[in-house]
Amino acid sequence: MTRFHNAIAIFCLALTASTGQAFVVRPNHQQQSLARSHSNVVLHMNLFDRFTRVAKSNLNNILKNLEDPEKIMTQALEDMQNDLVKIRQSYAEITATQRRLMKQKEQCDAMANDWYQRAQLALQKGNEELAKEALTRRQQQIDEATNLQAQIDAQASAIDKLYEGMQMLEKRILESKSKKDQMVARARTAQSTQKVNDMMSGISGKTSMDAFTRMEEKVEALEAAAEVSAEMGSINGNMLPGSAASSVEAQFKALEAASEVDAELAKLKGLLGSSSSASSSSSTTSAAKNAEIDDELEKMKKEAGL
């Protein structure tokens, strides 16, 4: 289909060149309807792509929020705190039941002791039937106290295990709180580092730093173009007829600069000449002093008979 369209375009250009008139291909009704349907399909596809990108972005944000270490650890601590509250409530209820059973057992023991004393009193009065009934009541209280003691012993073991679990959970909560602060700090540091790395490596495509770099290159290109334009302007200005005055002025400036250089050179030569004359006079004076010293030395030798 693409080759066919290209052939039609070439034919139209050739016909236009030969006739001098533009050749316009007017599409028929079917072609217009096909073009409109094609544009509608493209529009729908673009809308669908945009919707897909938005949905993926929202889904990624939801997943990131769900996988946020800080939120997960906070929720875990809240769950442990709720479990600790429930364990404490259970421990309080079982402990209250234990104390109630112990009180009932004490009452049974006291009543059994009372019935035993009544049985003794009945025997002393010679009433064996009444003493037997009192001993029967005493045995009932003893049996009840035995059952209560069994329940107390069973619950005591459960209370000990519950207390150990409660202490262990409290210790774990304290450790988790201290670890949470460290893990949250590490997670935030890792997330910040990842954002910086993504921005620097350009994983997300054309970033703001890319745009900044492009603008910087554009400014440098504009500056270079301005410099070239200025240089071209100066060259063109020198080539104009009216530039003779500026050329003459430049020649005079060069002559003035040369005169200043010659004057400075003469000044330096004068300084060098004066320093050399001073050096020669100084050497002459030094030689005279040395001769006087030699004469004085010879005189001392003669006086000493050397």
pLDDT of residue 33: 54
Distance CA(139)–CA(142), nearest Å, equals 5
* pLDDT beyond 70 at 114: yes
Phi-psi region of 126 (alpha: psi -120 to 50; beta: other; left: phi over 0): left
Looking at every residue in the chain, the average pLDDT score rounds to: 72
29: tokens are: 């009704």
Distance CA(251)–CA(247), nearest Å, equals 6
SS (H, E, C) 148-204: HHHHHHHHHHHHHHHHHHHHHHHHHHHHHHHHHHHHHHHHHHHHHHHHHHHHHHCCC
Query: Is residue 152 within 8 Å of residue 101, measured between CB atoms?
Result: yes
- Where does the pLDDT of residue 25 fall: very low under 50, low under 70, confident under 90, or very high at 90 and above? very low
Give CA separation, 172 vs 166, 180, 186, in Å.
Answer: 10, 12, 20
The DSSP 8-state label assigned to residue 242 in this structure reads G
Task: Give start and end residues of each alpha helix (H) in the chain.
Answer: 2-19, 29-66, 69-124, 128-201, 208-239, 244-303
Can you tell me which residue has the tokens 């005591």? Answer: 156
pLDDT of residue 139: 93
- Where does the pLDDT of residue 70 fall: very low under 50, low under 70, confident under 90, or very high at 90 and above? confident
pLDDT of residue 23: 46
Average pLDDT over residues 286-303: 68
The DSSP 8-state label assigned to residue 243 in this structure reads G
- Where does the pLDDT of residue 22 fall: very low under 50, low under 70, confident under 90, or very high at 90 and above? very low
* pLDDT beyond 70 at 38: no
Average pLDDT over residues 140-145: 94
Distance CA(274)–CA(154), nearest Å, equals 125
Average pLDDT over residues 252-267: 71
Contacts of 210 (CB under 8 A, 6+ apart): 202
List the chain domain ranges. 75-190
Could you give the percent of the chain with pLDDT greater than 90?
Answer: 13
**Residue whose C-alpha is closest to residue 152's, from 109, 93, 112, 103:** 103
Torsion of CA 259, 260, 261, 266, to 10 degrees: 90
**Residue whose C-alpha is closest to residue 84's, from 181, 176, 178, 182:** 176
Cβ atoms < 10 Å from Cβ of 148: 20
pTM, 2 dp:
0.40
Distance CA(149)–CA(106), nearest Å, equals 10
147-204 pLDDT, tens per residue? 999 999 988 888 888 888 888 988 988 888 888 888 878 878 877 887 777 776 655 4
For the ranges 101-110, 251-260, 270-279, which has the lowest average pLDDT?
Answer: 270-279
Q: What is the number of alpha carbons within 13 Å of residue 104 lying toward its C-beta? A: 16
274-293 pLDDT, tens per residue? 555 555 555 566 666 667 76
Report which of residues 76 and 55 the model is more confident about.
Answer: 76
pLDDT of residue 305: 63
